[in-house]
Structure 1
Amino acid sequence: MRKIVLTANDDRGLDGAMSMHFGHCTHFVLASVDPNNQVTSTEVHVNPYAERHEPGQIPEFIKGLGADVVVAGGMGAKAVQWFQQLGVQVVTGARSGVGETLDAYLAGAVSGVSECNHEH
């Protein structure tokens, strides 16, 4: 069973809107996926660090959810490095919807990492 976390702008789960900015998303959707790429369950978690966070806090939070993969619209190099150190695969490049992005990831249409180059 894989656990995939996606960044979201709301609490609507797979019906919600993807957040294109990893560090400022309001929610995370945790999808449990079986070996046949079927979603077996989903959970929505509020991002406790959406307004203000220190380096590493969000990656540690997501790892604490049991995530194997995190999918975001974009992510900075420092966050990518944190996830790599924690053994969580990072995928960037999203569709507009959370469910649509998850489907694209599971189909192999969303993969790899493009880092954000901006600083906040």
Structure 2
Amino acid sequence: MKKSAINLQDKFTKFSKHWSPRVVAEMNDYQFKLAKIEGEFVWHDHKETDEVFVVIEGKMLIEFRDGKVELSEGEMYVVPKGVEHKPFAEKECKIMFIEPRGIANTGEAGGDLTAEEDVWI
């Protein structure tokens, strides 16, 4: 079996839709997902798991009911389970996030931005 590195920049060229995560790897029951984000997402939480956001390129904001966190390229933040949050990016931002397999991107909030699960690139 040929072993090769996963090139994140190459993976980002394989899709263009915003708020549409793509799986690039799994570790145990966790998935590493890439997404391009722009504009506002929906308020949501994940009752059973933390969620890690890593900014690969650009800037984003994670709003909370009691404040916000700004992230720039090369920075990450862990949103604790059960904490309501709303990601936002003024301009297109490329991110990686890490969460258990089977977690809906909108939590229980649902709506038009709920992505199909397990879409690999």
Fold similarity call, TM over 0.5: no
Q: Of the two, which has the highest radius of gyration?
A: 2
TM-score, length of structure 2 as denominator length:
0.30
Greater helix share, structure number: 1
TM-score, length of structure 1 as denominator length:
0.30
